[in-house]
Structure 1
Amino acid sequence: MPVAPPSPAFIVGIDLGTSHTVVASVPLGGSAKDIALLQIAQRSTAGEVLAQPLLPSVRYQAAPGELGDAWQLPWPPQGAEAATPAVIGRWARDLGAAVPMRLVASAKSWLSHTGVDRTAAILPWGAGDDVAKVSPLQASASYLAHVKAAWDGQHPSAPLHQQTVVLTVPASFDEGARALTLEAASLAGLQQVHLLEEPKAAFHDWLLLQGEQLASQLADSRLVLVVDVGGGTTDLTLIRVEAAASEGELPVLTRTAVGEHLMLGGDNMDLALAHQLEPALAGAGQRLPAARFAQLVQRCRIAKEQLLAQDAPGHVTVTLLGGGSRLLAQSQSVTLTQAQVQQWVVEGFLPPAAMTDHPAKRQGALRGFGLPYPADAAISRHLAQFLAQHAAGALPDTVLLNGGVFHAHALVERLTQQLSDWRGSPVRVLHNPHPDWAVARGAAAYGLARVQAEHATAADRLPASEQSAQTAATAILPQIGGGSARSYGLLLPGKAGQAPDILCLLPRGTPEGVRMVLSGRRFALRLGQAVRFVLLANSQHSATMQPGQLIKLEGEGWVELPPLSMVLPAPQGQTMAQVEVQLQACMTEVGTLEVRCTRIQDGVADPAQSWLLPFSVRGAVGQTAQENPAADADAENTADPKHSKGLKTADTLLPQAVAQLDRIFGTQAQAVTSKEVRQLRQSLEKLLGGREGWDVGLLRALFDALLARAKRRRRSADHERVWFNLAGWCLRPGVGAQLDSWRIAQVWSLYEQGLGHAKEAANWTEWWVFWRRVAAGLNEEQQMQVLEAVAGAMQKTVQQTTQRSVASGGGKASLGSYDDMLRLFAAMEAVPWSYRQEMGQWMLQRLKRPDESVQTWWAIGRVAARQPLAANAHLVMPPAAAQEFLDATLQQDWRKNETAMFAAVQIARMTGDRARDVPDAVRQQVLEKMRASGAPERWVTLLEQVVQMQAEDQKRSLGDSVPPGLVLLPPGSRAPA
């Protein structure tokens, strides 16, 4: 007989913050006054261990032997080994202030950054190969593991993994970031975990502190705004207050809105101060090297905390140490005053704004280390937009401010005055006595309220004589209702000429634990192969939407979530099968979205065959899966013309264009000549206009028609050549439009099939061109396969070319165009940069030949570029490795070799991420040669400022134009103004 797990003895609230981690707990059966903070043991120096409530959420990746054995006490972080020692907390923060390139910081922000692989070892961002790296997921798990060890040391009879843990996350975290947070907790050994939004936790703490005065304290409040500014995010939440139905009852609290994910907080303020001080340390117009600027940011954080604290000094000295044996000789200092901090922080982040203001879209000067901070750092303008969307009818009359930055009275005063100005009357400020740990305390209070509510429900079932005693034993704390903060929908392709549909899975406001069953719709689900569901979320959408309702993908606020994807098991004895299912969705009591497929047999749902669809937060999983297998039968093989509004040809001429495709590639073989096949593109251009003008909606509609007829591409060598040429043009660049990942999954099966007419060199050329055009949509594994194939083909082609030049009349290259192979190789941005470096070095050797193609310089610019066109930023070649390629371009005469100059532009352009940017002195050298060579001014601007590449140059870099209506941005980037 299985042994039941031990019952929890405590409710533990954990605030896993960007800057600090805080833990609070309350015994089961306890009351609000019993909530206590955990004193977290951590090393402060090599010889001292102290316990304090704030654990800095940082990790120092020490060099072997740097820390001796001290890093192992009070305990090593999870997974640390003697070969790669690491330390967490206060000592890590102090060590990192001196050696910032070994410090893992802002792991929570990285955990929400969709522009990188959050499970890849990429932190510390920009660190060299001599530094052992960890993933954002691993770093977050190690902080929780440290907390677990600290707790277990103080509560040996009640280890943390046996307790009820409430872990807080920003309200704006999407489902992918929430899933990763739960995975981090699991890696740390915590299983019974509930997620709670941080603004709700902070408000729970305030409710807790009011005690019996709660109802009277909220009597005059109708709408409460919670502004939670942490180290990495600004969270905005509105809570409606309704008076109790009868005297003696608690008011009814309902969360009505949450803000969008805003990566803006204390970290940005530290950056702003560092940017202000940088000229005094680096010289006017100069920038500090990445390592010294990172050190300056850490020093500014310490100075900011000192100057914004109570009884703060009038000024502090910010000192940058030198390196190695010249530690003191190379040190530099600058004075930072209290007035400067208040001016730069208050005016920079809370400037006066009107209610009609919106955040600026053009990127300002505030830059970090790889994180996608918003273009506008003004919290006041983001707040104005939030209130205009969610509280235009009645502005909040009450505000609760949370987060360490609100220790600064000037920030509190400016924000409350701004809210009062918008409202036309003073706004009430709820007193928050401890903004550093209100979230952790509130998480414990939330857990206590849940337990008390369960007890009250149980008491209702007791005999009347026992109810009063049972109720008296549980002082009920109010819970904040409101259910799901967002509406969730499944993306379904629409009919040709129409926008895609969204099938509502879960409307905004659905209570936690309520399962929505889409019983009125039938879906076909494939078993035994990867399946993929594309989900969208919207925090602005009307809560009146019903489960199962179909709406068009229109309006603003829709955000694509990490896909739901997995391989569902096929029946025994079969490799694959198709079954009828119904979808079910639920916002779980843990705080995450859960979507299930339940098989329908004989018209009845079979709970024994029910599959939970997990979120795919690792890029490679989603990219290889088949998207939207649950689409309604009448929605198959359709286009995504979302971006083709105003395109007259989409509705009127598309059927004629598809008829032309059908004539060449249709199921019924028609009497067409070879010339008609070869001139298919020209025929389409005669009907639809020049292909450069085909917008993304029309292109994808044509591609979908080609894809449906792909089997007939092998009818002749001409058919195959034309199919790949036209299909590649219509799917380029492989990303950017809805359902592109599904399309890439379909064409990848063609790669495995290969060419049907492999003896035709021209067909090989179109093959390489096709994969170059769609390369941005391929994941790392797929790109590696293509890379290996094209590298081998290039070597054979070089050998054939050499043999032909030695022996007159030798055989010509049989695998297609060498230039197109070269360009395809350079387009492989998703593979590890070391592969591109190796191939780039081979290219440099080839360039010593007088007959080498000028396209080699184009390829070198791509492999060593600072800004990828579509890949994750952590895959960019480091500046030190790219230097040899930049040096090679500098040796060319740019007046005669413009392609080499453009390669230098790509290698030296400014990104604002110091981990990727080449040194200022190197960039200045490139600028001087560009000006002397008569470079276009737009190229000069790319090296002087952080700007988006213009369409003409993006086309040159990509190798093709970007389809009209599509903006190609790297993952995690923001669209330009």
Structure 2
Amino acid sequence: MSSRFIVGIDLGTTNCALSYVDLETSTEPQLFEVEQVTAYGEKHQQYNLPSFLYRCEENEQAQLALTWDKKPQYVCGEYARRFGGAKSDRFIHSAKSWLVHKAVDREQAILPWGIEEEHKISPVAASSFYLKHLREAWNKSFGQTKDKEGSPCILEDQELVITVPASFDEVARELSLKAAFNAGFKKVTLLEEPLAAFYSWLQVNKEWQDTLKNGERVLIVDIGGGTSDFSMIEVSDDGALRRTSVGPHLLLGGDNIDRTIAFEAQKRANRKFNNREMSSLIQEARRAKEKVLSDEQVNEINLSVHSGGSSLLKGMSLIKFNRQEILDIIHQGFFPSIQIDAAEPDRKVGLRTLDLPYERDPAITSHLLSFLRRDAQISTLSEIKFPEHILFNGGTMIPLSFRDQVINQINSWSGQSINALNSKGLDIAVAHGASSYGLSRSGLGTQVKGGIARSYFLKIDSQEGSKFICIMPRDTEEHSIQVCDKIFTLKTNSIISFPLYSSETRLLDKTGDILNSDAEDISVLSPLSTSISHGKKVQDIRVKLKSSVNESNSLEVWLEALDTDHQWQLRFDLRQLHEQENSDDQEETITVNERLLQKASESINSAFVKNDAKALNSLMKNLENDLELKRKEWSVVLCRRLADLLLELDIELIRKNAATEARYYNILGFMMRPGFGNSHDQFRVNKLWPFWFKGVQNKTDIPSQVEWWTLWRRCSGALSRGRQEQMAHKIHGELSSKKSLNPQLSRELKRCLGALELSPIKFRKKVLSEFMERATRLDEVELWMIARMAARRPVYAPLDLVLPAKSISSLATLIMQTNPKKLTNMHFLCISRIMSLTANHALDMPEKNRIEASKFLSKNNAAKHFIQQVNELVEEDVASQSLVLGDSIPIGLKLHKD
């Protein structure tokens, strides 16, 4: 059944919008006016639904009621935008930007960020809330409208196109889809926002051939509230439109402007605002920016911040700006004029200020130049080929002066005059274009081809050695299915690799073509390693292969079993892979000598399967000899290959003997340390997890117990939150019991507990509170526990699990009162980890506490790097990381790397 309406939704950082086409009456997209609360007791319909969320107080729910929700827990839209910022603990904004933040768990309740508030929601839930509001508003207006079959035209049954930034990675796109499905939607297609803006232009300019000639190109500059996207569209020689390049992900937009103004205001106020005050100030900056840009008569504007307290006037800070000062901040910081030979923008992730991983370089013109250079590389040109036309999109580009700045900059680079295309409206074009795209897919409009610019190959094994098979020829169109007629053998329930290769120059290869391993003009991309689950045992099954690429630049490969109805999907994010391919800091692929690995396998089997005591004791030395490499030189890749060999053994048989059991845990833990750094560590721990419920087999053997907990500590980074919580409660119970524990066992229990960084915040607060009474008499293991559990910058946990600063400050103060004669490096590590500067308002300790910590460390001659971490934004060296980790770091593993 086809739906009556094609609906396009712009799920924006600052605003959402919805457009639709009623296929029974018209082929022209219409904008939908969204009902929303605008003030107490007032509702209004408008095209934009501001992407702001406010959690209602119970006594105001009736005043903020909607037609479909008489007692709302949350309201979004105009009311939240206008009034929510005054109550930062109830106010959520920029939820869409959080969908791309890799350092937090985006499906956990973390917003509003930095507020110690019991009632929070996840970025996915916030995005879903905006979509639910659109669904309810639509169903109120169109719920009684019927299609040809007499069914009500509720939104969830229509053909839906939801837009995302062109630069969203695969995870962010998946989370966007999840938000849509959680909102009750069923049929959803994702479309890139710049492409949607171009479809909007095509819909308005149906005679587009009069403007765009064969061989000409259109640059799309899309600067929204949260992201900046650049795309290039080309008119090919046959008159077809083709998208040829897309820029990298840039978390840079109107939000950054607001924050820059807010920081300048804080500087002028000559005081440090706390997190709540800063959140309010940022919203004040947004309002000031919008007022200055929308009204040329505004010459002076005040930003106000209320710091709380009983006196409204005493708690109020007023910071004055004039019009030109606001404009200078924007023009000079975000649209500066640069020379064509300017250096590349600094795109290192490093340590960030504020909450989100914003771009280090805010100059949009600098990122645009970088995109044009990259576009030339893709086209194998020696210099930039400047486009003839430019199309602007996004709310940030509404002011004419910003667009003029970009146009003048491009003209100065090219020495020509670029033509600016008209837009439907920079804040509504994406929604309008999304429904226009739906029309084009139905054959009712011009379609922009996104045929891929490369051929893609998988490396396979054959009787004649390694070969390449073409799975996707160059110029394949989006959504077309490519089917290989070859039959492959697939190993299930085991970690296998799918090495992906590409070529920009091989034009004649067809799907299914087999190439020799010495084929020219083929470059390697990052391999995808995974485990195909089928049955319970490792087995070989026959499969066929088919592939497709979607408009979001994901290569999807399906493995279809021939003898059953099973199929498995592999997904490669092509844009991310090509960015890595051209990255200066791309890591060199580490290979393992298979001949030497076979010798190591024989030594492992000889020791454990034959239960040879002598071989067990000398196993690590034997492995060094087999691999012709000292253990300190073993890479993460090599360690994990050895771990796989150990996990293939009969663990139940090994556990029957105490000495064998202890040795197995010891060596497996060494190979698995630190539990992350390899994409399949979680798969390995899944194979080990069933033994958690059984516990140590030889329960009275102290070495077995000690090595058991050492193993779990070393694997902790691969354990889920639920598993860590379960383990943490178990360990805490053991440590809290009145029974006497072996000192070595007690030590390893504490170290394991400290390494469980994903254990709940409430639980860790409780554990750390138990140290308060003897804070000046803690042993080194307990100090290490605190250093891990209360760190401002965890080793592997997401930032949303960092303990609130005020919950740990008292303990830190007491630790610093330890007798100076009893201070050790572990005291210094503990204090530096608790007090580390991150420049994230929500995570950092108050400045007075950090000053106190810095004095304590300096006075007691702590090492320089401990003091630096408190005072500066610095990365830890390998020695410090190993100390924090409690283990040596395998070669190839880098902590704190986004």
| TM-score of the aligned structures, taking structure 2 as reference length | 0.86
Q: CA deviation at 1:510?
A: 3.4
- Residue matched to 2:327: 342
Structure 1 unaligned blocks of 5 or more = 246-250, 454-475, 618-641, 802-811
Match of residue 581 from structure 2: none
CA distance in 1, matches of 2:752, 2:267: 43
Is residue 290 of structure 1 aligned with residue 275 of structure 2?
A: yes
Q: Deviations over 1:358-383 (max 9, x none)?
A: 331456896232x2223333333433
| Structure 2 equivalent of residue 124 of structure 1 | 112
Counterpart for residue 805 of structure 1: none
> What is the identity, as a one-letter code, of the residue corresponding to 2:421?
L
- Name the CA distance, whole Å, in 2 between partners of 1:925 and 1:504: 63
Match runs of 1:302-317 below 5 Å = 302-309=287-294, 311=296, 313-317=298-302
**What is residue 580 of structure 2 aligned with on the other side?**
none
Cα–Cα, structure 1 residues 236 and 655, in superposed 2: closer, same or farther, change >3 Å?
same
Partner of 1:664: 607
Matched, 1:154 2:120: no
Q: Which moved more, 1:165-174 or 1:422-431?
A: 422-431
Asked if 1:887 is matched to 2:813, the reply is: yes
Structure 2 CA distance for aligned equivalents of residues 263 and 534 of structure 1: 32
Q: Is the 8 A contact 1:12 1:165 kept in 2?
A: yes
- Residue 562 of structure 2 is aligned to residue 600 of structure 1: yes
- Distance between the aligned counterparts of 1:844 and 1:267, measured in 2? 41
Give the residue type in structure 1 aligned to 2:754. A
Secondary structure at the counterpart of residue 740 of structure 2: helix
User: For residue 724 of structure 2, what is the aligned residue in structure 1?
Assistant: 783
Residue 407 (structure 1) aligns with: 398
Which residue number corresponds to residue 967 of structure 1?
894
1:179-578 to 2 correspondences below 5 Å:
179-212=174-207, 214-219=208-213, 222-243=216-237, 245=238, 251-283=239-271, 287-309=272-294, 311=296, 313-351=298-336, 352=338, 354=340, 357-362=343-348, 367-369=353-355, 371-392=356-377, 393=381, 394-432=385-423, 434-451=425-442, 453=443, 477-483=445-451, 509-524=475-490
Amino acid at match of 2:86: A
Residue in 1 aligned with 2:131?
144
SS at match of 2:357: coil
How far has the Cα of 1:952 moved from its partner? 2.0
How far apart, in 1, do the equivalents of 2:662 and 2:311 lie? 65
Counterpart position of 2:617 = 678
Contact (CA 8 Å) 2:557, 2:571: kept in 1 or not?
no
Aligned partners of 1:22 and 1:71: how far apart in 2? 21
Query: 1:270 Cα shift?
Result: 1.6
**Which whole-Å deviations, capped at 9, do the CAs of 1:704-763 have from their partners, x for residues lacking one?**
343344647447433333332232222211111343333333333454554443332112
The structural deviation recorded for 1:46 is 0.7
User: CA 1:710/1:616 → structure 2, altered by over 3 Å: closer, same or farther?
Assistant: farther
CA RMSD of aligned residues (A): 3.9
Deviation at 1:575, TM superposition (A): 11
Identify the residue that residue 659 of structure 2 maps to in structure 1.
718
What's the offset of the Cα at 1:655?
5.4
Question: How far does residue 907 in structure 1 lie from its aligned partner after superposition?
Answer: 1.3
Give the Cα–Cα distance (whole angstroms) in 1 for the partners of residues 121 and 127 of structure 2: 10
Instruction: Give the aligned partner of residue 41 of structure 1.
Output: 35
C-alpha separation between the residues in 1 aligned to 2:756 and 2:321?
46
Instruction: Provide the rounded CA distance (Å) in 1 between the counterparts of 2:296 and 2:273.
Output: 32
- State the alpha-carbon separation in 2 of the partners of residues 295 and 493 from structure 1: 60
Q: Secondary structure at the match of 1:799?
A: coil
Task: Go from structure 1 to structure 2 and tell me whether the alpha carbon gap of 1:294 and 1:791 turns closer, same or farther (over 3 Å shift).
Answer: same
SS at match of 1:926: helix
8 Å CA contact retained: 1:517, 1:585: yes
Distance 1:540 1:389 in 2: 17
Letter in 1 for 2:765: Q
Secondary structure of 1:477's aligned partner:
coil
Q: Equivalent residue of 1:343, what SS?
A: helix
Matching of residue 26 in structure 1 with residue 21 in structure 2: yes
> Aligned pair 1:896/2:822, yes or no?
yes
- The 1:826/1:590 distance shift into structure 2, 3 A limit, reads closer
The match for 1:808 is: none
Instruction: Name the CA distance, whole Å, in 2 between partners of 1:657 and 1:227.
Output: 56
Q: State the Cα distance separating 1:481 from its structure 2 match.
A: 0.6
Deviations 1:863-887 (A, max 9, x none): 1111111112112222222233323
Please report how far the alpha carbon of residue 437 of structure 1 lies from its aligned counterpart in structure 2 after TM superposition. Answer: 0.8
Equivalent positions of 1:778-857 (< 5 A) are 778-795=719-736, 799-801=739-741, 816-844=744-772, 853-857=779-783
Residues 1:503 and 1:111: Cα distance change in structure 2 (over 3 Å): farther
Q: 1:410 to 1:945 in 2, by over 3 A?
A: farther
- Please list the CA deviations of residues 530-585 of structure 1 after superposition, one character each: whole Å capped at 9, or x if unmatched: x9998899999778687667999x99996799x999977x6xxx999975333433
Q: Map residues 61-76 of structure 1 onto 2, 5 A cutoff.
A: 61-65=55-59, 67-76=60-69
Structure 2: state its 5+ residue gaps. 146-152, 574-585
Looking at structure 2, the residues matched to 827 and 492 of structure 1 have their Cα atoms a distance apart, in angstroms, of 40
The yes-or-no answer on 1:862 pairing with 2:751 is: no
- C-alpha change, 1:443 and 1:177, in structure 2 (3 Å) is same
Q: Distance in 1 between matches of 2:871 and 2:190?
A: 44
Closer, same or farther: CA 295–216 of 1 in aligned 2, 3 Å? same
Counterpart secondary structure, 1:960: coil
CA distance in 2, matches of 1:557, 1:381: 29
Counterparts of 1:715 and 1:533, CA distance in 2: 31
Aligned positions of 1:911-926 closer than 5 A: 911-926=838-853
Q: Secondary structure at the match of 2:676?
A: coil
- Measure the CA separation in 2 of the matches of 1:610 and 1:233: 39
Measure how far apart 1:38 and its partner are. 1.7
Secondary structure, aligned partner of 1:171? coil
CA contact (8 A) 2:458 2:501 kept: no
1:878 aligns with 2:804: yes
How far apart are 1:69 and its partner, in Å? 0.7
**Counterpart amino acid of residue 412 in structure 1:** R
SS at match of 1:931: helix
- What is the Cα deviation at residue 524 of structure 1? 3.9
Residues 512-535 of structure 1 deviation map (CA, whole Å, 9 limit, x = unaligned): 332233442424475xx8x99988
Shift of 1:436: 0.8
TM-superposed CA distance for 1:597, in Å, is 4.2
Distance 1:114 1:541 in 2: 30
Q: Distance in 2 between matches of 1:494 and 1:99?
A: 64
- Partners of 1:831 and 1:547 in 2: how far apart? 48
Alpha-carbon distance change, 320 to 494 in structure 1, aligned in 2, over 3 angstroms: farther
Q: Secondary structure at the match of 1:166?
A: strand
What residue in structure 1 maps to residue 103 of structure 2? 115
Question: Structure 1: how far apart are the matches of 2:771 and 2:753?
Answer: 11
Please list, as runs of the form range in 1=range in 2, the aligned pairs for 1:155-174 lying within 5 A after superposition: 155=142, 156-157=144-145, 158-174=153-169
Q: Is residue 52–residue 91 contact of structure 2 (8 Å, CA) maintained in 1?
A: yes
Which letter does structure 2 place at the counterpart of 1:598?
A: E
- Tell me the matched-pair count: 862
1:200-250 CA-to-partner distances (Å, cap 9, x unmatched) read: 1101111222233x112112762222121111111221211125x5xxxxx
Question: Which amino acid in structure 2 is aligned with residue 911 of structure 1?
Answer: T
Supply the distance in 1 between the matched residues of 2:33 and 2:589 (Cα, whole angstroms).
59
1:442–1:778 CA distance, 2 compared to 1 (3 A) = same
CA 220–957 in structure 1, closer or farther in 2 if over 3 Å, else same: same
With over 3 angstroms needed to count, the CA separation of the structure-2 counterparts of 1:516 and 1:738, relative to structure 1, is: same
Percent pairwise identity: 30
Q: Secondary structure at the match of 2:242?
A: strand
1:292 shift after superposition: 0.7
Counterpart amino acid of residue 817 in structure 1: L
**1:701 to 1:365, Cα distance in 2 relative to 1, 3 A:** closer
